[in-house]
Amino acid sequence: MVLSGRTKTFLAEFRRNFHTTGALLPSGKSLAFEVTKHLAIPHRKPLKILEVGPGTGPVTRIIAKRMIKGDTLDAVEINPAFALAMSELVANEADFAAHRSRIRVIEADLVTLPGNEEYDAIICGLPFNNFDSELVGQMFNSLEGLLKPGGRLSYFEYWAIQTLKLPFVGSKTRQRLRGIGRLTGEIRKRMGGATRLILANFPPALVHHLLKPKS
């Protein structure tokens, strides 16, 4: 099997930085289409879009294809190798040509992201189950703070990852995973929205679409 340059970059960073990468392979098209589906609504208004954790850009590519005139996209990536790969992707590939001038790649940590931007739509690919619950809470606080009232936050997690891991990890990790599960469950309940299971992805993933209340 011949691997693309982006896949090689992804696998190399997975080995070096599993904590912040969190998947063995880049997101598949079925997952990318689902997590960006609200950008494909006909006759929608222009949106200010934020993608967090784009990696090597499989979801970013679909976002770019679904952008319309007036949309802007900020792609925030903490990993320097991924940020460089994303910058080269946006600068050189045809899928980004139509909206290239309105796409920014920002190498930064979500929690310490500078500025006071607010976005209509946020698409997040961070591997929350890899972090401690305190950091996950900080991340969601940042995501909600960056989202306009009435805006949509879409993120995904790998299906049954906690259930599959729990029998094989120590008590400290079990406690951490259960804490994250409780925290994200409370956030989804408070914000409301919908969840869809994407079996066609490897591994299968749950996509959560949440809404920030208008008041």
- Its pTM stands at 0.85
What is the total residue count of the chain? 215
Would you state the pLDDT for residue 202? 85
What does the alpha-carbon distance between residue 82 and residue 72 come to, in Å, rounded to a whole number?
Answer: 20
- Nearest Cα to Cα of residue 65 among 31, 90, 28: 90
Would you state the pLDDT for residue 131? 93
Contacts 24+ apart (CB under 8 A), 99-102: 99/64, 99/67, 99/71, 99/73, 102/67, 102/71, 102/72, 102/73
Would you state the pLDDT for residue 51? 98
Question: Is 131 within 8 Å of 186 (Cβ atoms)?
Answer: no
φ, ψ dihedrals at 206, nearest 5°: -100, 125
Tens-digit pLDDT string for the chain (215 aa): 443 555 455 445 444 544 544 454 567 899 999 999 999 999 999 999 999 999 999 999 999 999 999 999 999 999 999 999 999 999 999 999 999 999 999 999 999 987 788 999 999 999 998 999 999 999 999 999 999 999 999 999 988 765 666 666 678 888 898 899 999 999 999 999 999 999 999 889 999 999 999 87
What does the alpha-carbon distance between residue 127 and residue 79 come to, in Å, rounded to a whole number?
Answer: 13
- Report cis status (omega within 30 of 0) of the bond before 80: no
CATH class (in words) of the domain with range 5-211: alpha beta
List residues bridging with 152 in a β-sheet: 121, 211
